[in-house]
Amino acid sequence: MYEGVRICCRCQKGILPGEPYDTNTHDRASGPPLVLFVHKGSTCKRQPHQGAPLRSRAR
């Protein structure tokens, strides 16, 4: 379904065809290596980490 679409692992935005990018490859214990894509240079900003939403206490 999304074959061929590259998503930047830093800014979560798509990398357009012809746009420069780098790859980060990580070995995994089983299966093929994990390949992450990132915009080349400083063309993207890292998105702030979104943790789990805080829950209010039940009273």
Which pLDDT value is given to residue 10? 87
How many CA atoms within 13 Å lie on the side-chain side of 19?
19
Average pLDDT score, the chain: 79
Which pLDDT value is given to residue 55? 66
Among 38, 42, 40, 41, CA closest to 12: 38
Confidence tier at 51 by pLDDT (50, 70, 90): low
Q: What is the pLDDT averaged over residues 33-46?
A: 81
User: 48 or 19: which carries more pLDDT confidence?
Assistant: 19
pTM: 0.61
Among 4, 5, 3, 41, CA closest to 22: 41
